[in-house]
Amino acid sequence: MSKLQESLESGKFTITGEIGPPKGNNIQPALDEADEFLRDKIVAVNVTDIQTAVMRAGSISACVLLKEMGIEPIMQMVCRDRNRLALQSDLLNASIFGIENVLSITGDHIVMGDHLDAMPVFDLDAVSLLMAMVLLESGTDMGKTMKGEPNKLDGVPKFFKGCVVAPCAEEVEPQAIKLEKKVAAGAQFVQTQAVYDPKAFEAFIKKVEHLKVPILVGIVVLKGAGMAKYMNKNVPGVTVPDKLIERLSSAAKEDVPKVAVDIAGELIHDMKDMCQGAHIMPLGWDKFVPDIIEAAKL
């Protein structure tokens, strides 16, 4: 059993963090930040998988290196770039290296990235990828033999399967329905997109509390008012309230990190009784994660 699964099943308020692989093969700075600022502060570290369709190193290699360092990884896996053959193969690759935590994501569209001529795949989506993981755990894959029988695996993986949801989307009901499907498909934990409105989050939690699945509220650290405004305009399912934008706008430049830390900590503190944990997405500001946890007064 992974440390993440053990923590969530024990009922502890669980904190996870996140690093992004580089656009290149210089992974060491990301590992150093995880080692210095996230180790012993969080339970597990997400490794993004070609986030926002911008070409960069993938998730598996960084997950392997984190595990070798004694830091528990969560491998993100997007469906945009690989068909079911490659996705299942990479799941087996991860399992061979002892990676258990896998976050199933459909993936941002190619138009958001830096390779607009790339061919999107989307052979599977987040729901069917979860179903594929369950199949692999049962000892078979998604294919069939010539006789129409399931393909049997030589060695069976075990995963702690996660998914994502946008609790503050403009249309909440579809998000609740999607989450129901993901849990039915095998999701065992949930990390949300960025949440900045505790009341909206509480309303969503009440809609899905019957699912009995641990939910970690997502907090993207706001690096400034400009970033907050950009998210409001360009990131579906995310709304930063005007009062938070005003706090960032009115702060002196040198005080913005402190305000960002306070906002993130306050949000976690205000929502900690509504969920089972928090997923902090620092977007390169990993050094502030310990301060955010302290500000949350957990």
For residue 170, the model assigns a pLDDT of 86
pLDDT tens string 49-98: 999 999 999 999 999 999 999 999 999 999 999 999 999 999 999 999 99
Asked if residue 225 has pLDDT above 90, the reply is: yes
Provide the 8-state DSSP code for 153. Answer: P
Say which amino acid occupies 284.
G
Assigned token pair, 55: 């070409």
Give kind and range of the element (H or E) at residue 164. strand 160-165
Instruction: Indicate the domain borders of the chain.
Output: 3-293
Closest listed residue to residue 97, CA positions, set 131, 142, 69, 65: 65
Phi, psi (deg, nearest 5) at residue 256: -60, -45
For residue 142, the model assigns a pLDDT of 97
Closest listed residue to residue 74, CA positions, set 18, 132, 134: 18
CA 6, chain centre distance (Å): 18
Closest listed residue to residue 263, CA positions, set 223, 215, 227: 223
Assigned token pair, 216: 């970690």
Of the chain, the end-to-end C-alpha distance in Å amounts to 25
Q: Mean pLDDT, to the nearest integer, of 144-164?
A: 95
Asked if residue 146 has pLDDT above 90, the reply is: no
H-type helices in the chain, by residue range? Answer: 3-10, 28-33, 59-68, 84-96, 126-138, 172-185, 198-208, 225-234, 242-250, 256-271, 289-295
Q: Report the CATH fold assignment for 3-293.
A: TIM Barrel (3.20.20)
Asked if residue 237 has pLDDT above 90, the reply is: no
Q: In 3-state terms, what secondary structure has residue 211?
A: helix
CB neighbours of 15 closer than 8 A, spacing ≥ 6? 41, 42, 43, 277, 278, 279, 280, 293, 298
For residue 235, the model assigns a pLDDT of 87
pTM of the predicted protein model: 0.95
Assigned token pair, 24: 């290149």
Closest listed residue to residue 130, CA positions, set 105, 99, 165, 94: 105
Q: pLDDT over 70 for what percent of the chain?
A: 100
> Measured between alpha carbons, how far is 244 from 256 in angstroms, rounded to an integer?
12
Q: From residue 12, how far is each of 35, 82, 220, 232, 275 by CA, in Å?
A: 22, 35, 22, 32, 11
Higher-scoring residue by pLDDT: 147, 204: 204
For residue 239, the model assigns a pLDDT of 92
